Amino acid sequence: MPIDKDKIKHTAKLARISLDEDKIENLSKDLSNIFNFIEKLSKINTDKVSPLTSILNYSLRTREDKVTDGGIRDKILENSPNKNEEFFIVPKVIE
Amino acid sequence: MSEDKSKFLINGTQGKWEVVIGLEVHAQVSSKSKLFSGSSTTFGADPNTQVSLVDSAFPGMLPVINKYCVEQAVKTGLGINARINSHSIFDRKNYFYADLPQGYQISQFKNPIVGEGEIMLDLKTGTKKIGIERLHLEQDAGKSIHDLDPNNTFVDLNRSGIALMEIVSKPDLRSPEEVNAYVKKLRSIMRYLGTCDGNMQEGSLRADVNVSVRKEGDKKLGTRCEIKNVNSIKFMQMAIEYEAKRQVELIESGESIAQETRLFDTKKNETRSMRSKEDAHDYRYFPDPDLLPLNLDEGLIEKIKKNLPELPDQKKDRFIKDYSLSPYEANVLVSEKEVSDFFEEVIKTADKKLATNWIIGDLFASLNEKNIPISDSPIKAKEMASLVNSISSGLISGRAAKEVFEVMKDAGGDPIKIIEKKGLKQKSDPKELEALIDKILEENKEKVSQYKSGKDKLFGFFVGQTMKVSGGTANPQLVNNILKNKLK
Amino acid sequence: MSDITNKSLTEIVDLVKKKEVKSEEVTNAYIDNVEKGKKLNSFITESFDNALTKSKIFDAKPNYESLLPGIPLAVKDLFCTNGVRTTAGSKMLENFIPTYESTITSKLWAEGAFLLGKLNCDEYAMGSSNETSFFGNVINPVKENTVPGGSSGGSASALAADLTPATIGTDTGGSIRQPASFTGTVGLKPTYGLCSRWGIVAFASSLDQAGPMTKTVSDCALMLEAISGFDPKDSTSIDRKKENYSKEITKNIKGLKIGIPKEYRVDGMPNEIEELWEKGKKILKGEGAEIIDISLPHTEYALPTYYIVAPAEASSNLARYDGVKYGFRSSKGSNLIEMYENTRSEGFGDEVKRRILIGTYVLSSGYYDAYYIKAQKVRQLIKNDFDNAFTKVDAILTPSTPTAAFKIGEKKDDPISMYLNDIFTVPANLAGIPAMSVPVGHDKNNLPLGLQLIGKPLGEQTLLNLAFSMESKSNFKKNITKWWEK
């Protein structure tokens, strides 16, 4: 199934990845091939099957409502490329 | 364009328009820690001091769900008469924003923890049932601060990951008045249950408002717009009025409504489009593979049901039945659990009717003026009861009570002590009053004869004089009787 | 001590416990090898100072009760190590220094081991040849110019070249077993949920599992014992009593039923692979096991299913790499969206971007049902196949890989050809069941080949026993000359 350039551009926007025009041609080829490969699944009848919801047959485990974390601002901000003592800093969104 | 007041309708140039409203209320769960992490949830902390590695989405971090949050969602579901889904799933809602560190929000999409329910509203026109579509648990996002720097946005993740219950109503609301009643009722129920403190100033409760219009009588729903993140009832009402008019105007001028997300500008009092990217909202929901399905034990649901406190509607019915209150009075007294608790404490020892009037009348007026909740009232329940009793017992007159109240409303205190200090004890000894009155009649012989010859109005003068001389403490009933006797 | 680095982990632990060798000596020997082995490019970060310090601390006050006393270990650079750079093989995390330690590595250190360094891998664990790493290719020590497999290519290479006595990798579609097969080492992917995922850079959450990569099966049991166990910080972690794999391991496999799935015989499979499979069957039969033909009818759909589910989860797991909280941030971009787009475009390599795009696409509106839901349904069918098979057999024997290690660059431009490497390994990840690769022979070019044993959920002991038996009878001789030291 061909994945055309417009679909790729749209998907890249959703994924917040910018693509160079010259790369899109190759990507289109690659992705089309991959999707051809994946298309195999359409051959199989899954009408009576439920999708797998979890590999494990257990139920979600819960924890107590206690404050056991936080208060580590320095650690949290330490690795950020742009920050001050209190906040993460990012470029503005254009509204 | 005007509004028909009996039913909320917009009068357009081409006829009358009905407004159809649905609300998605986001209520912060009253937990100590977050939904999927152990960070604190208290309001007003320094930026990024209530953030863990999980909250800020560091590589390899994983969510673990807070049991208390699950229980509060079940409780709230029971409080709105909803079906509890013993099997529910958490999904990822994928989008990018600076205050969303994971690049997705953990929410519930196709299988929420609570299904359909309902809330009864008490409106001026009678009761109305509002359907609830569902309730689900989800993470709150952090906060983006745009005005600290011209070129940059500052991000605080304290709120990121706090548990929210999203309560989605059916599009059954038809007016700003109904929206007011709905939000208040929902808030009241959650406060009764203790599942959310409903504090709108602190952001514990906010709503996305969906508005569409249609010609009066039409069954089909019009295209709706969503007004996001409105954090006060007043703004919700203003937003609805503006948006409904905007939509009617558009349709009547031949244009169609674009289904979009809008913001309510609180300075201009109008809604405007969020100039967002076209494909902004393909959230690509899928079940979160870091979490297993949530299966609730039937036993757990039963246990929660058994331990539910009395809810506003039940309490209202009980107040009407047991205390012979009118529906209006009952409504007012159950609107807040603290008020109903206060009332029931007072009437343990005081007259119900009097207590009702004093609480709904004078006390509420004072609290409203000071803008404080009843829990901050300088007058405590025992003292209120004491005041009411001093009237029922005849210790003081109603008028004197008002004077005592004036002191108590600011400074609290024991009414008996105030009465003594101010010498407000009602004079009810007939002999004493007779003597007093005799003196007044003696000193006003001319007026007495004028009264006796027909000037009925002078009765009030004698009453007034008696009151003046007695410092307002003469028992009005007795004074009336004695005067009537003496002036025959 | 004459070349201690030649020995197995179990042998070294034994020598340490017998006080015949000190931790510092062991550590120095490995540091020496690593320094001589730079051509292999298997290390991204070396922690020599830390390792030597820890070895001296151990020697000063040794604790011989632990499983890995005084043992230096290098680990795949996907495990977050406190204070030590963790890159996931990516530019995005080139300078990321975690302030926390993954549960798995914490367990290793609690058993007396300490960090020797971080091992190269395909970027974000996406690859089958360790050719997608930002830090360059890894070379297979078996033969210059060949790939070690991937994504745990650095781990397999370092292990086979004696640069670490043992190691751990992660396996999402075969990333432990395939490189194990390519380098002639042992690799095990545990049952999903047996080992904690907390602190491991996530690729595909419902498929990822950490696992041991070792020289021998006994070593594998020892490492598994150290790293397995319940972790309350991971909601997908299984809560059960720990097993003593190394104490319970035995060569006695009499009466065990081994399934041979006909669907694993693929078109064009080289004769050597077929012969290897026969060899494996013969060995197990000779040791008392029963060989039974079985069918896993949906096998051919496993790879397409994997290439929908894994990218879908990855596209969401990698959304957090946005330049805001940590990692690389592009200097280009005047607003938030531009910053995101440039950061992710510059920070991620081509294969990662390809998979993010695939994943985003299959989850997107209009395609979700046709792709993602469909894939999850087929996944259920694949799991059912195994559940069914395990009512008849105790384990399943298959080849690990369709070929031996290929040349560097040979498959780089053909994604599908690269993906086909995982054809035998992917089904076990989809079904969440344990599987391991054991080296059993060589191909005509003297490149190692492995056989895969697949087990029931939580059936690791059975797998280890079968592998132990096979290893003892296979006569597999490691034939690596240290060509890189010249």
**Token pair of B42 as six digits:** 């208290």
| Interface with chain C: mutation pick from A43, A55, A72, highest number of C CBs within 10 Å | A55
Bridge-partner residues for C45, per DSSP?
Answer: C118
Look at B53 and A75 and tell me if their CB atoms are within 8 Å: yes
Residue at C351: amino acid letter: E
> What is the per-residue pLDDT across C230-264, written as a single tens digit (0 to 9) for each?
999 999 999 999 999 999 999 999 999 999 999 99
Q: Residue C442's beta-bridge partner residues? A: C448
Question: What pairing do the DSSP bridges indicate for beta strands B15-28 and B163-169?
Answer: antiparallel
Query: Is A57 at the interface with chain C, CB within 8 A?
Result: no
Nearest to C100 among B53, B101, B153 (CB): B53
Beta bridge partners of residue C84, listed in sequence order:
C81
- The residues, any chain, with a CB within 8 Å of residue B365's CB and separated by 6 or more, are none
The tens digit of pLDDT for each residue in B154-212 reads 999 999 999 999 999 999 999 999 999 999 999 999 999 999 999 998 999 999 999 99
Which stretches in chain A have pLDDT values below 50?
none
Residues of C with catalytic roles: 76, 151, 175
Q: Give pLDDT, residue B485.
A: 87
Q: Which two tokens stand for residue B159?
A: 């709120």
Distance of alpha carbon C115 from alpha carbon C83, whole angstroms? 11
Provide mean pLDDT across the span C81-89.
98
Is the backbone of residue B223 left (phi > 0), alpha (psi -120 to 50) or beta? beta
**What's B465's domain CATH number?**
1.10.10.410
pLDDT in tens, C393-408: 999 999 999 999 999 9
Q: What range defines the domain where residue B366 resides?
A: 310-422
Domain tally for chain B? 3
C175-184 pLDDT tens trace: 999 999 999 9
Region class of B371: left (phi > 0), else alpha (psi between -120 and 50), else beta:
left
Give the model confidence (pLDDT) of C94-150 as tens digits.
999 999 999 999 999 999 999 999 999 999 999 999 999 999 999 999 999 999 999
Q: Which CATH number fits domain C4-256: 1.10.760.10, 3.20.20.390, 3.40.50.11890, 3.90.1300.10?
A: 3.90.1300.10
Predicted confidence (pLDDT) at residue B4 exceeds the cutoff of 50: no
Q: For chain A, what are the domain ranges?
A: 5-43
* Banded model confidence at residue C425, pLDDT cuts 50, 70, 90: very high
Percent of chain C whose predicted confidence (pLDDT) is above 90: 94
Q: Are strands C257-261 and C395-399 parallel, antiparallel or unpaired?
A: parallel
Q: What percent of chain C has pLDDT over 70?
A: 100
The answer to whether residue A94 neighbours chain C at the CB level (below 8 Å) is yes
Peptide bond into C151 cis (omega under 30): yes
DSSP codes of every residue in C17-74: HTTSS-HHHHHHHHHHHHHHTGGG--EEEE-HHHHHHHHHHHHHS--TTSSSTT-EEE
Average pLDDT, chain B: 92
Quote the percentage of chain B above a pLDDT of 70: 98
Q: Is B160 exposed, middle or buried (0-12, 13-18, 19+ CB in 10 A)?
A: buried
Q: Final residue of a domain: which of B288, B304, B320?
A: B304
pLDDT tens profile B19-30: 999 999 999 999
What value of ipTM does the predicted structure carry?
A: 0.96
Residue-wise pLDDT tens digits, C351-383 = 999 999 999 999 998 899 889 999 999 999 999
B365 and B246 together in one domain = no
Tens-digit pLDDT profile for residues B368-424: 999 998 999 999 999 999 999 999 988 888 888 998 999 999 988 899 999 888 888
Alpha helical stretches, state H, B229-360: 233-252, 298-306, 312-323, 327-334, 337-346, 352-358
Position C344 scores a pLDDT of 98
Contacts of B63 in chain C (CB under 8 A): 235
Q: Which residues of A touch B51 (CB under 8 A)?
A: 70, 72-73, 76
- For an interface test with B, the pick among A88, A90, A92, A93 (most B C-beta atoms closer than 10 Å) comes out as A88
d(CA B193, CA B72): 8
What is the DSSP secondary structure assignment for residue C161, as one 8-state letter?
T
Residue C147 in tokens:
């790939």
Interface of A with C in 2-41 (CB under 8 A): 3, 7-8, 11-12, 14-19, 27, 30-31, 33-35, 37-41
- Final residue in a domain of this structure, among B269, B304, B339: B304
Q: Is residue B171 located within the same domain as residue B150?
A: yes
Give the mean pLDDT of chain C: 96
Which carries the bigger pLDDT value, residue C382 or residue B441?
Answer: C382
- Alpha carbon separation from B415 to B348, B349, B474 (Å, rounded): 17, 15, 18
Contact A27 C354 (CB under 8 A): yes
Quick one: pLDDT band at residue B279, thresholds 50, 70, 90?
very low
Among C448, C453, C373, C446, smallest CA distance to C148 is for: C448
pLDDT band at C267 (very low <50, low <70, confident <90, very high): confident
Residues of A within 8 A of C376 (CB-CB) are: 51-53
| Cα B28 to Cα B34: distance, rounded to the nearest angstrom | 10
Alpha carbon separation from A88 to B61, B74, B143, B153, C183 (Å, rounded):
19, 36, 11, 8, 45
Decide if pLDDT at C317 tops 60.
yes
Q: Is A35 on the interface with B (CB under 8 A)?
A: no
Quick check: B98 and A76 CB within 8 A? no
**Which range is least confidently modeled, A48-57, B288-297, C400-409, C422-431?**
A48-57
Q: Is the pLDDT of residue B145 over 60?
A: yes
Residue B39: the pLDDT is 98
Residue from the list B149, B274, B282 with its beta carbon closest to the beta carbon of A14: B282
* Chain A environment of C338 (Cβ under 8 Å): 18, 91
**pTM higher than 0.90 for the full model?**
yes
